[in-house]
Chains A and B, each alone.
Chain A
Amino acid sequence: MPPFFLYGRNIMFEALFAALATIVSGPSIFFLILGVLIGLVVGVIPGFGGTVGLSLLLPFVFGMEPVSGIAMMMGLLSVVATSDTFPAVLIGVPGSVSAQATVMDGFPLAKKGQAARALSAAFFSSLFGGLFGAVLLTMVIQIAKPIILAFGTGEMLMLAIFGISVVGTLTGSSIFKGLVAACLGMIIGCIGISPASSEYRLDFSTILEVQNPIVMYLGGGIHLMVVAISIFAFPEIVELLRSNKAVSEKAELEKSGWFKGLRDFLSNKFLVLRCSFIGSLIGLIPGIGGSCIDWISYSHAKTTVKNNENFGKGDIRGVIGPESSSNSKEGGALIPTLLFGIPGSGGTAILMGGLILLGVDPGITMVDTQLDLIYTIIWSLAVANIFGAIICVAMAKPISQLTTINFTILAPFLISLILFAIFNSTRSWGDLIFATFIGVIAVYMKRFDYSRVALMIGFVLSDSIETYLYQTMQFYTFSELFIRPIFLVLILVSAFSIYSGIKIINKKDKIANTKSDLLNAKSRPQWVFLILLAIISVYTIFVTDHLQYLGKIFPISVGLFMFLFCIIIGIQMFISKSGSKVFYDAENLLLGNTEIRSQWLTIFWFISPLFLSVFIGFYISIGLFVFIFLSKIARVGFRFSLISSIGVWIALAAISHFMIMDFPPGILQGYIELPWPIN
């Protein structure tokens, strides 16, 4: 077949513009805008992403006219990765999976009073990324087959390894602490059914009875959002609560934030272009999943720009990079979905379900027989992105005012929202308990400078590495593997990534050594935490030892490495003097500061609604918590507290109704039949 631009060029363009006409005229445009609006809301609420949003739409899609249905679903899917930036920047909580890396620099920018700037730069990058994805989809849909098929399991393994290799560039000042965190992430990823031997792992079934709720929960594996929210949001909120201040350290927000964001976007156009390309390319390959794209492009931004010292402390380029790629990946992920019926991301998987309900079956024949529908999808993607970006940019400034409100007043709402988002992951008590556990670990990881990003990347790639490593060994011999060009290129890329990681760490070393001795003073909790981590690694080794070879080799290897790294850190701590960077402890700077609340008190506040729920159920407990917190701790007055808690109750009831969702019951509900929604 000749390349697409020689092959039926006129027909292609005709179909392309006919599809545009169908989208913007008639009822489809209203459904598109409706989809965009739902998508924006879904993106803003942490824990809801395109996957949840689309599954909400499915019942309405059935029986709709296909073009309108496609327009609505695409409208939603295209803008989630745009609006999920709001919570990432404003409160440091990713709105959906694709905003994980945006938190890194977006939130520090908000602390500097530059929330509007960060947001608008993110929206312009997102818009560009989305359009880039749409253009790419148009150009390559007819020739993409060999590209996708060239990525075998060997290549996917190398992509996963490349993903892990960026840990070096993103971790804190101690490489070993970063590695321990990555191992811990991989161990959390091992929980559940093993890919190669279908055995249950790390589910406590060795000490508990198999039908115990804990064992049943862990057997299902840990949901991505449970880890993502608790690892990032929990420590940030605890910290903000302790300081009892607003997010923004400046009372007055910077003026002209909107325009500045546009300028930032324009002056980094090549970075935007590169990251958009990375996003689309990785999105194109089914099997790797979208969750590590943000980190790869964040790491790419960090390693390729000049003067990267401020990354992680509020560099606008750390927002622009991942935002361009997170939105361009949808265009890429649509290619295998439409071409093979093999979705490239969680969102496109549900989109496919929706398309089938509409009577449109994506697959090889679609390119030949239903090209017009493919163009409808592409245009919906492009038009929705434009609408989404316009709405978000317009809202950036007013919404950033939130960062000037004292955080103690916002906290109960956020805590309710986060607990709800976590619970929505698999709608189980286990989600809440596990998230609390990870959240507390994350507080200490932040305090002692163990990289939380490393944990996240380890978790996201754990399953890919294990599965593809085993499958690659089954499918290829060594010599077959080393004549595959893409495989070799990816090895080089990973090697380069590790090299630049080492360079960055060396630079950080110099900076770390100039910091005050006060920050790096010896303390006992550091030892306690290290020993706890070592125990987790030893536990992993022991409880997976009875499994089949294929089921245990990965967790045991990871456990051994983690134990080794713990020993190295232990030795460093043993031989170093107080003041060495291995003793980093953010708490040391706060000693004697009486304005700061105690760490455990704020953690207690965070989990108190859960304790309450055990007795009276989640629904009653959340409203009560909001009321008590506002009136006793934030001291905002009785009337405001009451109205707020009733508002939260109404919102939860509405969600329960529309999402067909029951909240976790407590002991009370076990004894008394109660009416909806408190039952």
Chain B
Amino acid sequence: MLKKILAVFAASLFSVTAALAVDYSGKTVTMWIPFKAGGGSDTWARAIGPAFSANLPGNPTVVVKNVTDGKAIGASNKYFAEHGKDKDGMVVFGTSGSVQMPFIFKDERVRYQYKNMVPIFASGTGGVVYVRKDMGVTDIIKDFDKLKGQKLVYGSQGKTSLDAVPILAFDMLGLPVNVVYGMKGRKAGRAAILRGETTIDYQTTASYLKHVKPLVEKGEMVAVMTWGAPSGGEVSRDPNFPDLPAFPEVYEAVTGNKFKGTEAKSWTALFYAGFATQKYVMLPKSAKKDVVKAWQNAAAAIVNDPAAMKVLNKKLGKYDQVTGSKALKSALKKATSIDSKSEKFLQSWKDTK
């Protein structure tokens, strides 16, 4: 009995000190965003910032700090150099696909390690591939040979950017796509297909719904496939577009092969890093346990915050926001770790053409 009482007492004492330890009242918490103001990740951070403020203990002011020194890689390195050993969770890190991609492609400039991070919150998105109407294609699987015979041009930002996902997908399907680099972002790619200079393009879900869907309805463009969405360890049809086949499905139908092997694994890793769980809020691993707990609880509460969710859905499309320690860990692992075979494959694929 005495033991029990002591245990309860100790536990309550512990929880009191824990509550005391994590109290941000009157403090200012910083979200370190390695991108400039006004861009996609910045808008995302500014949408979830107030929601974190409302749900963290003590309701701290949450500010977004745009660090652009040395671009995404440099600014991420800098976070690790300056805050990689923080314990108090006063400065959290916001990442996106453009931070994950150089990590996967083993860019020499990268000095950050995802295994030293604890994920708090993750948002995903999807992508839709569409072609110009004059390609004469309505169903990518049935009209595949027709599509193959067309002059296919894709406007890209670079092979080791998020565009690795479409370019590798085209390669795997055996589509003879002429990839033209030097596009400044997906917006420029969209402008090029509108002008008729390129003929095949993709946009992330939110951008597709806003800018391309009206054109599809008018009959100027045709949507052919999505990248898919994760469900139960597989990549299956995107719930936002149930009528469009996902890439793995298209791959199996037109090549006759199962969606397995090194190429498929590599593509899936890129897809997770660039789309499925693209944007993370993270703390360094050195953060105290109850700090992590406080942040993860706040993240779980955000999912129930309609105002923040409205902006997030608009920004990224309606996809699950990942919270909860277990789900996050496996998502982060999928997005940032890659087996050595796939890694070798991507290294040599990067240098072809």
Contacts and interface: CB of A to CB of B under 8 A. Distances in A.
A350 interface: yes
A647 interface: no
A576 interface: no
B173 interface: no
Interface in B304-352: 307, 310-311, 314-315
B63 A342 contact: no
Nearest to A154: B197
A271 to B, nearest CB: 32
Interface stretch (A130-138, A210-218, A243-251): A210-218
Contacts of A499: none
A196 to B, nearest CB: 5
A350 B66 CA distance: 13
B315 A356 contact: yes
Nearest to B310: A359
B90 interface: no
Interface stretch (A23-31, A92-100, A469-477, A528-536): A469-477
Contact of A286 (B109, B191, B211, B215): B191
B255 interface: no
A333 B350 CA distance: 36
A195 B181 contact: yes
B211 A428 contact: no
B211 A216 contact: no
Interface in B16-75: 30, 36-39, 42-43, 46-47, 49-50, 63-71, 73-74
Contacts of A575: none
Contacts of B43: 353, 356-357
Contacts of B158: 193, 198
A352 interface: yes
A359 B309 CA distance: 12
A466 B184 CA distance: 13
B15 interface: no
B181 A55 contact: no
Nearest to A356: B43
A466 B181 CA distance: 11
Interface stretch (A38-46, A58-66, A309-317, A619-627): A58-66
A365 interface: yes
Contacts of B38: 51, 54-55, 58, 349-354
A340 interface: yes
Interface in B185-213: 187-188, 190-192, 194-195, 197-198, 207, 210-211
Contacts of B188: 287, 342
Contacts of B194: 149, 340
Interface in A456-514: 466-467, 470-471, 474-475
Between A62, A151, A196, A354, the greatest number of chain B beta carbons within 10 A of the residue's beta carbon is seen for A62
Classify the interface of chain A: helix, strand, loop or mixed: helix
A525 interface: no
A342 B178 contact: no
Given A217-B70, A340-B191, A198 B160 contact: yes
A354 B311 CA distance: 12
Contacts of B63: 59, 660
A427 B39 CA distance: 18
B180 A474 contact: yes
Contacts of B36: 55
Nearest to B64: A59
A354 B314 CA distance: 13
A598 interface: no
A551 to B, nearest CB: 10
B185 to A, nearest CB: 9
A660 B67 CA distance: 10
A428 B180 contact: no
B108 interface: yes
Given A62-B47, A340-B190, A474-B178, A356 B314 contact: yes
B224 to A, nearest CB: 20
Interface string B58-100: 0000011111111101100100000000000000000000000
Contacts of B71: 219-221
Contact of A426 (B68, B180, B182, B315): B68
Contacts of B207: 341
B214 interface: yes
A236 interface: no
Contact of A363 (B109, B181, B211): B211
Interface string B246-257: 000000000000
B197 A58 contact: no
Max chain A C-beta neighbours (<10 A), residue from B49, B180, B315? B180
Contact of A62 (B30, B46, B70, B161): B46
A176 B67 CA distance: 40
Interface in A417-449: 426-428, 430
A353 B211 contact: no
A198 B180 contact: no
Contacts of A364: 211, 214-215
A570 interface: no
Nearest to A150: B195
Contact of A152 (B111, B180, B195): B195
Contacts of A152: 195, 197
B153 interface: yes
Contacts of A287: 188, 191
A239 interface: no
B211 A357 contact: no
13 contacts: A54-B37, A55-B38, A193-B158, A219-B74, A219-B109, A341-B210, A341-B211, A349-B38, A365-B214, A470-B180, A471-B182, A474-B153, A475-B197
Given A58-B38, A63-B50, 19 more contacts: A151-B195, A153-B197, A193-B158, A195-B181, A198-B161, A198-B181, A220-B74, A286-B191, A340-B194, A342-B191, A353-B38, A356-B311, A357-B47, A357-B311, A427-B67, A428-B69, A470-B181, A471-B197, A660-B64
Q: Which 7 A-B pairs have the closest CB atoms?
A: A55-B37, A353-B38, A350-B38, A198-B158, A195-B182, A428-B69, A467-B182
Interface of B: 30, 36-39, 42-43, 46-47, 49-50, 63-71, 73-74, 77, 108-109, 111, 153, 155, 158-161, 178, 180-182, 187-188, 190-192, 194-195, 197-198, 207, 210-211, 214-215, 307, 310-311, 314-315
